[in-house]
């Protein structure tokens, strides 16, 4: 008997005849990674928060609060999230100008997330001017002095038809970072007749926690006869494990995960396990392995779907 068979309690939920007809399952409800928002007033709902600073570039003597208030401002004309957003109105500035909204913060905000996956994102909409406009979203990480230690950027395209959301993900390393800033900027085009009006909303820098449940097929997506077992690497997050989510429900299903041809319950001995799951007698074709995590057998607090193909192997009789 293999070690995982000793560590797990397996209850087969379907008889052989069930594999041919299938049993309907509830809709799949995958749980996205938990996200912690690090920026203040990400949706620009509070014009008095003081979280964001507005400026234009390059600096010039006649740049003042009144100019920037007219060029970059909160508005309730549009919103992708909530009731307000920012508007960058480049019809109010001359040639070769860049309008900027930025938020600065210290390394103490980032320190708890050293080694975590970060997501930088924003939503944009074009209100006037050209048919499309580029908008830059940038995170800069600074040390004691000199140029930035690192930077992450997203070149977003604002369209006149609808809000579009843009994002990038990366692994954050604190290192010698002492401070950071997130900025959104729009450049004035050479043709002032095409000066854009751009709406920006929901600017986020988020730290992503591991998903409650993650898994992958250990030997690829093809299960060849006469093999009848899928080897699966299963990872339960430390937070979910600590909350008592230690039961796995598994089903071999149709590709959409909505019809089960057989399955069972697993009780992993640890948060990270290499498991073997027996596949019932099914014709060659496309299928999926549906995994559900819960605090008790049958619960589905977090789910995922792993597609695979059942095919005839070279040693099939």
48: left (phi over 0), alpha (psi -120 to 50) or beta: alpha
pLDDT band at 315 (very low <50, low <70, confident <90, very high): low
Report helix, strand or coil for 174.
coil
Report helix, strand or coil for 206.
strand
Q: What is the pLDDT of residue 9?
A: 36
DSSP 67-135: HHHHHEEEESS--SSSS-EEEEEGGGS-TT-EEEEEEEEEHHHHGGGTT-EEEEEEEEEEEESSSEEEE
* Residue (of 167, 166, 136, 164) closest to 57 by Cα position: 136
* Residue (of 184, 55, 37) closest to 123 by Cα position: 184
Place of tokens 């549906």: 290
List Cα–Cα distances, 71 to 87, 129, 204, in angstroms. 8, 15, 22
pLDDT band at 314 (very low <50, low <70, confident <90, very high): confident
Q: What is the pLDDT of residue 67?
A: 67
Above 70 in pLDDT, residue 20? Answer: no
| Bridge partner residues of 282 (DSSP) | none
Report helix, strand or coil for 239.
helix
Can you tell me the mean pLDDT for 199-228? 93
Could you say which DSSP state residue 188 is in? P
Other Cβ atoms within 10 Å of 101 Cβ, number: 21
pTM above 0.85, yes or no: no
Domain covering 35-208, topology: Jelly Rolls (2.60.120)
* Residue (of 208, 217, 265) closest to 237 by Cα position: 208
Report domain extents, the chain.
3-33+211-312, 35-208
CA distance 102 to 119: 17
CA distance 228 to 16: 14
Q: What is the mean pLDDT of the chain?
A: 89
- Write out the CATH class of domain 3-33+211-312: mainly beta
Above 90 in pLDDT, residue 68? Answer: no
Above 80 in pLDDT, residue 65? Answer: no
First to last CA, the chain: 25
pLDDT band at 316 (very low <50, low <70, confident <90, very high): low
**How is residue 311 written in tokens?**
């095919």
pLDDT in tens, 21-64: 789 999 997 777 789 999 999 999 999 999 999 998 887 766 66
pLDDT in tens, 88-130: 999 999 999 999 999 999 999 999 999 999 999 999 999 999 9
């Amino acid at each position: 008997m293999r070690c995982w068979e000793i560590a797990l309690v397996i209850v087969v939920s379907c008889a052989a005849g069930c594999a041919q007809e299938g049993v309907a399952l509830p809709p799949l409800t995958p749980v996205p990674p938990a996200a912690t928002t690090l920026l203040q007033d990400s949706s620009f709902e509070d014009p008095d928060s003081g979280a964001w600073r507005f400026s234009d570039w390059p600096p010039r003597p006649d740049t003042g609060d009144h100019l920037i208030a007219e060029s970059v401002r909160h508005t309730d004309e549009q919103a992708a999230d909530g009731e307000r957003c920012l508007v960058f109105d480049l019809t109010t500035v001359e040639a070769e100008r860049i309008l900027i909204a930025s938020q600065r913060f210290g390394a103490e905000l980032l320190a708890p997330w050293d080694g975590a996956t970060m997501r930088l994102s924003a939503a944009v909409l074009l209100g006037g001017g050209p048919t499309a406009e580029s908008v830059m979203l940038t995170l800069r990480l600074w040390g004691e002095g000199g140029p930035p230690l690192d930077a992450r950027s997203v070149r977003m395209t604002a369209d006149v038809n609808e809000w579009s959301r843009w994002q990038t993900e990366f692994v954050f390393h604190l290192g010698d970072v002492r401070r950071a800033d997130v900025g959104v900027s729009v450049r004035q085009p050479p043709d002032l007749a095409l000066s854009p009006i751009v709406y920006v909303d929901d600017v986020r820098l988020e730290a992503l926690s591991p998903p409650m449940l993650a898994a992958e097929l250990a030997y690829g997506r093809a299960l060849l006869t006469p093999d009848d077992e899928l080897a699966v690497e299963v990872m339960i997050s430390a937070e979910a494990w600590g909350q008592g989510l230690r039961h796995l429900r598994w089903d071999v299903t149709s590709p959409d995960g909505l019809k089960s041809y057989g399955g069972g319950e697993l009780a992993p001995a640890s948060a990270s396990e290499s498991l073997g799951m027996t596949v019932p007698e099914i014709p060659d074709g496309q299928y999926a392995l549906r995994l559900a995590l819960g605090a008790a057998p049958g619960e589905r607090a977090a789910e995922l779907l792993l597609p695979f193909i059942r095919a005839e192997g070279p040693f099939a009789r």
